Amino acid sequence: MTVSHWLTREVERVLNQGIGILLVLFALVMLIGCQPKATGPLFQPVTEILPEQSIVYLYYPWFGWNVFPREVFVDGGSLTTLHGAEYYPYLTAPGRKTFTLEHDILKRRIDLKLEPNRAYFLKVDYVPLAWMLTPSGTLTLEEVPEAVALEEISKCRLMQEPK
């Protein structure tokens, strides 16, 4: 075996080990980073809504990989940032409100005409995008019927404001 052949094999071996180590480290980071960050109590509906208020429950169900927090906007202003397995109850006056999600490739807007003393449910949802060259998608907001939302949101924890 020549020195150059031996050197080539050693370089390949070291690179393969390095890639293996990087893959293991990446997997560990993903496992740690993918754990839900929510620490509040599990979902409980708000029971005290004034007759002149509406409530919008915003929630981000656990997908198993959602490590990316998403900022929610109402009427163009920042409302809150949700992480996986979290929900946020938004009490507000009735009327028209527009909800959007940060980094939504589809630029979807949810326009709601909020009625007094009524609950609405908006979920952060994953939408696969078949038109992209790689298998990927985007997170977007979706209005969800109450029956569906109550089942999904029951696994979410109340968003805790940073201290």
- Domain carrying residue 137: 54-158
Residue 72 lies in a domain: yes
Distances from the Cα of 46 to the Cα of 42, 135, 152, angstroms: 12, 39, 16
Residue 17 lies in a domain: no
pLDDT tens string 32-81: 444 456 678 999 999 888 989 999 999 999 876 666 789 999 999 999 99
Residue 101 lies in a domain: yes
Burial tier of 158 (Cβ tally within 10 Å: 0-12, 13-18, 19+): middle
Residue 23 lies in a domain: no
pLDDT tens string 88-123: 999 999 999 999 999 888 899 999 999 999 999 999
Residue 73 lies in a domain: yes
pLDDT tens string 122-163: 999 988 876 555 557 788 999 999 999 999 999 999 987 654
Residue 150 lies in a domain: yes
Domain count, the chain: 1
d(CA 15, CA 93): 60
What's the CA dihedral at 126, 151, 88, 100 to 10 degrees? 30
Residue 36 lies in a domain: no
Q: Strand 54-60 to strand 119-129: parallel, antiparallel, or no bridges (unpaired)?
A: parallel
Residue 4 lies in a domain: no
